Amino acid sequence: MVKLRQIDDYRWEIPREGKMRTRGLIFCSREMLPSIQDDQSLQQVANVATLPGIVGPSMAMPDIHWGYGFAIGGVAAFDPDEGIVSPGGVGYDINCGVRLLRTKLHRDQVTCCMEDLVNTLFTNIPSGVGSRRKDFKLTGSAFKKVLKDGARWAVQQGFGEASDLAHIEAGGKIEGADPDLVSDFAMNRGKDQLGTLGSGNHFVEVGYVCEIYDAPLAAKLGLFQDQVTTIVHTGSRGLGHQVCEDYIKVMLKASAKYGIELPDRQLCCAPLTSPEGKNYLAAMAGAANFAFANRQLITHWVRESFEQVFKLGPRDLGLDLVYDVAHNIAKLETHTVEGKPRKLCIHRKGATRAFPPHHPEVPEAYRETGQPVLIPGDMGRYSFVLVGTQKALEETYGSTCHGAGRRMSRHQAKKEARGRFIIKELAAQGIIVRGAGRATIDEEISEAYKDVASVVDVVHGAGIAKKVAKLKPLGVIKG
């Protein structure tokens, strides 16, 4: 068992020992420890601490659970000259992320139409394993533009407004993408999946603001009590998965080539200065841009679905983008280390940025509030809106958790749901759910996840994000 030393109510340290180059730092409460210690995620945090060029601690957020290479919820920074980049520190679903839309609608205006709205969303947004759009095809050259320009490409094609781009991390485009470094197989997997939800834990959720913790901040984010909202959660689909798969093979060879000792083959990596490292970052950026474009297209169809059901125009609906943030990515960012600015490669694997007020990378609309932080829960409980803090910038490279975190495998969840009718259970709570299949819904039962409220309480209590509002679901479509 990995040794842990309690620092305070929200922080636990894995002391540096053996081949670790730094310590581990875990954000969690004492009550969370037993479930965290049930898997190998703490060992994964310790393993990341052995990698070359790591700067500061190997960290994990309170939604920590076992993942490929890095624990999900893992954050680590690497020096650009001496450090590495690892696909295991980003994940298979590159730029899986969350966006939040607000509306001008009040909860009372939609409850009578929720079943119709959920069915319309399910019809308009392809969902499930291998889902594809039959009415949306791109040529090879056009598809490469998606990988280069991300959400900007989508807006240029009429899928949204220019104002949307000002409310997306990095403006919806990661610089340095090179589509030629994405394999033909990856391109073929993704070319018909743009504008689709996919499977697993991906969803579109219509909900409402059920509680406000900070009224002035909520107002600045355009949120009010009982306001109808929509969350979109999906990523880079088969394209991102294949980019990861392709570069894991490259990195296994690169690790041996550059003499990098690995405590776990899943941490295969390459120096950031190497051709392999640079190529991965360029291909990863292409997949990340695909994901930004994917969420932008889905947003367009969400807007069309609301217009179709409520017979209202865009101005009356007010379906504006609050923010879109990535939670599986590696990015070159400038941070202050020991009092000096330093460029670092930040791996966030199931973790999201939480930049504070006045940070230059926070959109102008949120310079006074800090970057919106979106932490979804499960389809039966609630999700949260927070903002980033100076404490996060100083302690976690501006990072916080990305969700509730699984506590059951999908197999365990389906076993737990056996003999139950989850759709009816949720309907009894006033939540309408549609999914591509019963198995998809069963494996996403609320019990499969930690209670996101306890996760959010940790990041709020630790000061690495600040609670603004809680959202409750009314209707959900699942992959």
State the Cα–Cα distance between residues 190 and 242, nearest whole angstrom. Answer: 9
Burial track 315-351 (b if 16+ CB lie within 10 A, e otherwise): eebbbbbbbbbbbbbbbbbebeeeeeeeebbbbbbbb
Q: Which entry of 347, 402, 411, 460 is annotated as an active-site residue? A: 402
State the Cα–Cα distance between residues 205 and 322, nearest whole angstrom. Answer: 15
Tell me if residue 358 is catalytic: no
- Pairing mode of beta strands 84-85, 72-78: unpaired
Quickly tell me which residue has 């217009």 as its tokens: 307
State the Cα–Cα distance between residues 258 and 88, nearest whole angstrom. Answer: 18
Q: Measured between alpha carbons, how far is residue 335 from residues 36, 172, 288, 450, 460 in Å? A: 29, 21, 22, 31, 22
Within 418-451, residue ranges assigned H as helices are 422-428, 438-442
Q: Six-digit token pair at 32?
A: 């969370």
State the Cα–Cα distance between residues 118 and 139, nearest whole angstrom. Answer: 32
State the Cα–Cα distance between residues 35 and 44, nearest whole angstrom. Answer: 15
Q: How many residues does the chain have?
A: 479
Determine which helix (DSSP H) or strand (DSSP E) holds 205, and give its type and residue range. strand 203-212
Q: Beta partners for 99?
A: 232, 324
Please identify every residue annotated as catalytic.
402
